[in-house]
Amino acid sequence: MSNPARQINNRRLPPLPGLGRRGTSPQTQRKSGGTNRHYGGATSPRDRYNNSYSSQQYDMVIQGHNTIGSASHHHNNNKSNHSTTSTDALCPFDLTPDAVTSFLNDNPEFLEKYVVRNVNSDQLERWIIKRTQNANKENGKRRGSDVENGINGESELRDGSGLLRWKMGHHPDKRKILQELTKDIHQHPNKAQVLSELTNCVASAINADGFNLYLVDENGRDLYYFKPNSNNTKNSTVWSGRIGNGGTLGAYIAETQEALRLTEVLGDERFPDGIAVGGETAQAVLAQPIIQTNSATLGVVELYRNAGNQQFTDEDEEICNSILVWGAFGIYNAEMYHGMTKQRKLNEFLLAVTKSIFQDIVSMDTVIMKIMNFAQKLVNADRASLFLVDNQTKELYARIFDIGNGLGAQPVDGQQKEIRFPMDKGIAGHVATTGNTLNISDAYGDDRFNRDVDAQTGYTTKTILCMPIYIRGSQKKYNIIGVVQMVNKTHGVFTKSDEESFETFAVYCGLALHHAKLYDKIRRSEQKHKVALEVLSYHSQCTEDEFSQYKDRVIPTTLPDVTLYEFSPWGVLNEDKPQYVLYMFKDIFNMSRFDISSLIKFTLTVRKNYRNVPYHNWSHAFSVAHAMYTVIKTTDNIFNPLERLALFVACLCHDVDHRGYTNAFMVKTASPLAAIYSTSTMEQHHFNHTISILQRDGHNIFKHLTSDEYKKVLSDIKHCILATDLALFFPNRAKLKDLCEKKEFSWEAQDHRRLIQAIAMTASDLCASTKPWQVQVSTVKVIFEEFYAQGDEEKAQGNQPIPMMDRDKAHELPQSQVGFIVGICLPCYELLANLLPGTQPMVDGANTNLKQWKVLVDEQKQKEEEKLKKETENGAKAIENKKD
């Protein structure tokens, strides 16, 4: 048996649970220097915690109460080599708690390593909680010198673990606290309640005996004390005072936005009133502002400890500041989130409103019904009314007076279609007059409320939200066009949020009502337009008597000289011209495909739709149609039947409803036609007027054509009529001339054929310049009379006309005609004759007239020279007479 003294001084610890035999301690190994013994298969708790790490297990040998030093570990394939001096074993009862405590106190690094490796965070946190709670219990007993001197390390715990106390003091899990606070913030964004809970957590974290929470109002001028345990949200705050110096501590902090730690509250001139609540027993005070991310003060927190307790430290202030900053940021984000959520719902609502209203703008009543229904849903009102403003009579009126209880519209009395009352009467009248929104929480307490309506209907009005509806008028001013009145919110009273939402909604109401009014105006205008067209159609088409007169006439089989270019259409009597048109039509086309009655009506109606202007009248249309007839007859049928039909009809209608003014004048004077047709104003009007004649009953001369033929003819007619605009002649001529010079023109190419059609239309339109001289001169005089009339009107408007239209420059007419024939007529006729040799007489006629105009120009120059010479001689004689 071993020596008892040796047993006491050299005890072996019992094996740890889960471990096999233990090796000898490193200390014994160093002392004895004995042989190595190998142990394997034992896995430490560290191995079980982290398989990637293998630690060496060794025995702890206690010699008396002395601790064994650190051992050097030699790893070899996860096995340990230890030296031992003894093989004696100690019994488990030989190990005492005092011995283990002494060992751990003398070897804190071992304890730290063991705890880090083998103790999980939850267990560690529970230990710290117990330690903190024990320290808090002993705190009251050891205030003052004991704490300062450091009894049992308590001062170290207070100083070193201050940042942890807020999360460990009375709450087992800091994360749960923050999660609950975050959940409260997002689910119930009541700033006061959340800040109160947050401040309570701060008070617990820094061991404060109490706290006060003050909130800053919306205007930023007043401070309100929040009652922490108030269940009545409306009465949970009490006015504390104005923000600024010379009052309470809270008012000062709200003004300066600086944190203060105080050991004496009273006697400070910055805040002579001290703490507003609970200041009687407070000795140490920590006051901090709650500042939002936009630098605005949200509130003030006062934390205090009563007399006899420790003062607040820097760490206490840091804890308080950290939590409050997080809380302010969380509240700000929560408000932003809820604001965005609310705005998203409002946007969805407004989108639904817009779709519904603007898809069904069929009448004002429909739009008003929808606006009232949506407004009622938006603010949860029991009833809704909409009144429109009559600016002429200064009245409010309504066709649909009330919507409520899901019963739909309450129509106005059947005897009257609408109700009216002065704009200066009642709440709606006040809003319509002033443009101010009214939110009335007690209708009977407001003198502007008209109680007669409730007396008649038996309905009790309690709350009212009344708002104007605007539209943007001229000069960027907003005009009130109506008033929407919401009555009796379903729960409580109408809030500021209701006002803001409804204000946005009112913008869409204004747009909807404005568009509905425009729709009504357009619809009425369309009806008026239809009536006007009906009247115009009746009075602008041939009568039955006119039709019967020409229907009974026999179309001649031949007409002398009608196919000659020298033939003067102006020599034909007006009553005979329709007969000539029928003859030319019959001569060119196969009449078996045409209805003679429709042809007669069409011709007579076209004649009736030419205005009585000096030149662009029915006689001009007849002359142009005859010129095209001559071109068609002398070109060996180079144009196909549909082209010939389009060319002839286009010439007959190319100036229908001409007003005697040029396109430039129509644009300059901002005529309605210029607003409709931006280019080739009159030509487009001529074509559209032609279509309107064809669409009249019994006037469609193309009804025998197939659908494709009909489309082709109308397309060619439009092309040909637009080609009579001289502004288009120059590019058309340039293209055609280029094709001819390059010898690329082909009659097989459709676009080439359309170019020759355009040139043929211009040639026919200017045919007066190819007629015999007497015809040419008389026609030019008529043309210039129309030009001078336009020039006179331009002068009356304060504008200077071009020389060709200036009556004061009539003596320049010959020179003007020379330029016209040389610059436009001859280039047109020469190009046409190059492709259609049968039109050469037009070139010859233009050249003959050009010579005559040049003679007149020379005579004009001679007269002017003689006049100038005579004036010079008279001037010289006058000078000589003065000398004598």
Q: What is the pLDDT of residues 358-407, one digit of tens each?
A: 676 666 777 777 777 877 888 888 888 888 888 888 888 887 766 554 44
- Structural element, H or E, at residue 389: strand 381-390
DSSP calls for 211-274: EEEEEE-TTSSEEEEE-TT-S-GGGSEEEEEESSSSSBHHHHHHHH---EEES--TT-TTSTTB
- Verdict on whether the full-model pTM lies above 0.85: no
- Residue 295's pLDDT is 81
| pLDDT reported for residue 709 | 95
CB 483 within 8 A of CB 432: yes
Residue with tokens 């190319």: 654
Other CB atoms closer than 10 Å to residue 809's CB: what's the count?
16
Task: Give the fold, CATH level 3, of 361-524.
Answer: Beta-Lactamase (3.30.450)
Which of 1.10.940.10, 3.40.50.10800, 3.30.450.40, 3.30.565.60 is the CATH number of 168-340?
A: 3.30.450.40
Could you report the average pLDDT of every consecutive run of 10 residues in the chain (884 residues)?
40 42 40 38 38 37 37 39 42 73 88 86 69 54 39 33 43 55 59 80 85 83 77 64 82 88 79 75 86 83 86 86 81 79 78 72 73 80 87 83 50 54 86 90 87 76 90 69 88 85 80 80 86 82 92 89 95 94 92 89 96 96 98 92 96 96 93 91 96 94 94 97 96 96 95 97 97 96 96 94 93 94 97 96 97 94 85 78 71
Task: Determine the Cα–Cα distance for residues 807 and 781; give it in Å rounded to an integer.
Answer: 12
pLDDT at residue 464, rounded to an integer: 92
Q: How far apart are CA 556 and CA 579, in angstroms?
A: 8
> Which candidate, 569, 783, 824, 802, places its Cα nearest to that of 658?
783
Same fold, 361-524 and 544-857: no
Beta bridge partners of 215: 224, 299
Active-site positions read: 616
Tokens in use for 473?
Answer: 């008028």
In this prediction, residue 42 carries a pLDDT of 38
Question: In this predicted structure, what is the pLDDT of residue 67?
Answer: 38
The pLDDT assigned to 28 comes to 38
What is the model's pLDDT at position 179?
62
- 3-state SS, 420-449, equals EEECCCHHHHHHHHHCCCEEECCHHHCCCC
Describe the crossing of helices 773-796 and 813-820 by its angle, rounded to 10 degrees.
110
- DSSP letter for 281, please: S
CATH for 544-857? Answer: 1.10.1300.10
Structure confidence at residue 55 (pLDDT): 37
Give the residue extent of every domain in the chain: 4-119, 123-160, 168-340, 361-524, 544-857
Find the Cα–Cα–Cα–Cα dihedral 364, 368, 370, 371, rounded to 10°.
Answer: 130
Maximum C-alpha span of the chain:
181
